[in-house]
Structure 1
């Protein structure tokens, strides 16, 4: 969704907007655009959400920043049927192929199409095997998100301490 269409009326009732820049740095900052807080839930992201960029720089990331609005060309990848680690790892598996497809486009902004996603297949384990895998890999994935969040907090503290030290 193009977030410039949803400018906030009140700064206190706003969310920072995640664009490619924010996705690359892993967080929003004071230079990030703002949008209204009442945007559709499908374009609101929180810590642990899987974000996929399909245009230009194809990226896949686990969002470690705070609540934000998701700008156009970025998607929150979700599933009602499969755990996040499963979706993330299969998307990551195909990311290099997607990047090659985008790079081969003759346009200035390479991209992939919905058909490229539909042509990507995942091996789906049966329910018992998926449960076993989820019990094993789910906590590891959750811990990965916690570590990313902690790293973000430590970087912010480092930045604040360096600013105080240099003043």
Structure 2
């Protein structure tokens, strides 16, 4: 019978991978270096994550924990909290660069793009469920489209990160929420 997986090892490797990703980005990321930084054998890492892309996606997924989607029962509060947390993360130069690089790499390397897409989908689904419950409470119009609302909120953040370079401060995040919700009440 196989030994159970040591979650402490998983945590060490994921932390090392996160640090390495922030320092070197996707292009400079090496699975072997992540193993060395975590002070575990390469084979230990390869048993858990068979490729660089698998470990990158797992490490990147843990970064979403810094911007949780919380529900208070007030859609404006909920969306403002979520958007300001996302904006705060994207203001960090290393995170901003990593997001840009992963999006670009995901278009060049379809396997990476396919592995990252479920992360975005999971976040979008959680936000859509929050919006659906706001519709059920009567906070938003019955015909409010959760996907459209999410795109209207998050799209401008990524536009500023990837294209314009304009700031994404909390005032901008709150203004996005206010103007978007005004359209869907």
TM-score higher than 0.5 here? no
Q: Give the structure with the higher percent strand.
A: 1
Q: Greater helix share, 1 or 2?
A: 2
TM-score by length of 2: 0.27
Structure 1 length-normalised TM: 0.29
